[in-house]
Amino acid sequence: MEAYANALLIAIPLFLVLILIEIGYGYWRKKITYGVLDTVSSISSGITNILKDTLGLGVVLVTYPSILTFFNVAPLEMHWWVWVVGFICIDFAGYWNHRLSHKINIFWNQHMIHHSSESFNLACALRQSVSNLIAYFPLLLLPAALLGVPYKVIAILAPVHLFAQFWYHTQHIGKLGVLEYIIVTPSQHRVHHAINERYIDKNLGQVFSIWDRMFGTFQEELATDPPQYGVLKQVNTWNPLAINFMHFWQITKDAWHTRSWIDKLRIWFMPTGWRPADVANNYPVEIIEDVFNFKRYPDSGSSLFKAYAVFQLLGVSMILLLGLSEVGSLEAIEFALLALYIALSVGSYSMFMDRWKGAYFSEFARISVGLLASVLFLNSVGAPEHFYAWRMVLYAYFLLSLTGLLYGFFQSRFTHGTKVISS
């Protein structure tokens, strides 16, 4: 856990800096690909994913070392070419894992959040799942195990392979000539995220593009059919926790409503989006029909409203980084409580972004709890050094949050009352 946390302490600031650079470049080129609320939602999704991975939540069906032991294959010696073979095996497994996520109903639930943004930018890369609680990826590494690729190679290369997928989530890089035949490029990945009919479920490769060409899932980006982004069944929320389980909830309701016992069972493993005939007739869902002309979820609000959302993201990110920096000194229960607070914070301020009726109350409650916990914890014996050094910053964050929240609350009430009187 500590090694993973240390890697994140480098990766998270780097990703945020690159996102800021892309935002600045977009404004300079007058090609803005970011919305404030959408960006906050994307980064918040990354935060929840980090919490899940750091806590090690989920069940691993089988580990890679156990596969190695089962087949009793002698591990290869640590030559440079072993690392190349290991990376290719991870990418091959990644392609099939990605393909399963697009093709099977229950697996789509854990991947849908990555596609849920109706924009396309570097922040979208951070839209990662917390609903993938059953890990089966090591099973797809069977070729690596049979070849004798050591576990150490897989363990080191797996996060490298993941981070290598960040850069191509952008609209600012065009086609890259001969590289289009070797690696996954921004052009190819724009196609993958598009909801245009010809682009659906295409370009499933993660680093190398050869798998798509080999297995018939490659599609070139066409100027005559510019990619439109999102999912056909719109999520209509900024709340990453809700998005994570939205498709699962839909499948659950459909399984409950269908009269066929066979359909109650097979719906989970049917192609993505499949619904029993009786349910589809009695409980229709709205699907985007014209991808070039549909109402997108509004990324709107006053400057103060958006500033509040960004401020909460920054505050929660700060708390996350402080927690990761002290993960080795915190008790397991302490880090679990911190993670729970961060997750609830993401849920609360994203509901505020959605204009949920109870959002003012939930925000007031979680900020007050955070302030109280900070005062009690940071003034206790044995408080982590980094937390103590940052205590005034934490106090300022919570107090400014309360001030902004109360200002927004009374302003909205005053404005609403004025409108009622004048009407």
Q: pLDDT at position 353, please? A: 97
Extended strands (E) in 93-239: 134-135
Question: Which candidate, 45, 52, 42, 49, places its Cα nearest to that of 19?
Answer: 42
Residues 75, 148 contacting (CB under 8 angstroms): yes
pLDDT (tens digit per residue) in 118-166: 999 999 999 999 998 888 999 999 999 999 999 999 999 999 999 999 9
Residues 249, 240 contacting (CB under 8 angstroms): no
Q: Which two tokens stand for residue 47?
A: 């935060």
pLDDT (tens digit per residue) in 327-342: 877 788 988 999 999 9
Residues 122, 170 contacting (CB under 8 angstroms): yes
- Split at pLDDT 50, 70, 90, the class of 415 is low
Q: pLDDT at position 375, please? A: 85
pLDDT (tens digit per residue) in 279-301: 999 999 999 999 999 999 999 99
Q: Is 271 helix (H, G, I), strand (E, B) or coil?
A: strand
Chain centroid to CA 215: 27
Q: What percentage of residues in the chain have a pLDDT greater than 90?
A: 79
Question: Which candidate, 324, 326, 343, 308, places its Cα nearest to that of 378?
Answer: 326
Chain centroid to CA 71: 35
Question: Which candidate, 83, 118, 46, places its Cα nearest to that of 292?
Answer: 118
Give me the chain's average pLDDT, please: 92
pLDDT (tens digit per residue) in 398-408: 999 999 999 88
How many CA atoms lie less than 13 Å away from 131 in the CB half-sphere?
22
In one-letter notation, the amino acid at residue 313 is L
Tell me the whole-structure pTM to 2 decimals.
0.93
Tell me how far apart the alpha carbons of residues 36 and 41 are, in angstroms, rounded to a whole number: 9
Q: pLDDT at position 371, please? A: 93
Lowest mean per-residue pLDDT among 123-137, 225-239, 386-400, 405-419: 405-419
Q: pLDDT at position 223, please? A: 96
| 244-263: average pLDDT | 97
CA dihedral 34, 272, 100, 205 (to 10 degrees): -40
CA distances, 389 to each of 8, 330, 383, 394 (Å): 21, 16, 10, 10
Q: What backbone torsions phi and psi does residue 135 show, to the nearest 5 degrees?
A: -95, 120
Is the pLDDT assigned to residue 1 strictly greater than 70?
A: no
Chain centroid to CA 339: 16
Tell me how far apart the alpha carbons of residues 407 and 399 are, in angstroms, rounded to a whole number: 12
Is the pLDDT assigned to residue 416 strictly greater than 70?
A: no
Tell me how far apart the alpha carbons of residues 47 and 51 are, in angstroms, rounded to a whole number: 6
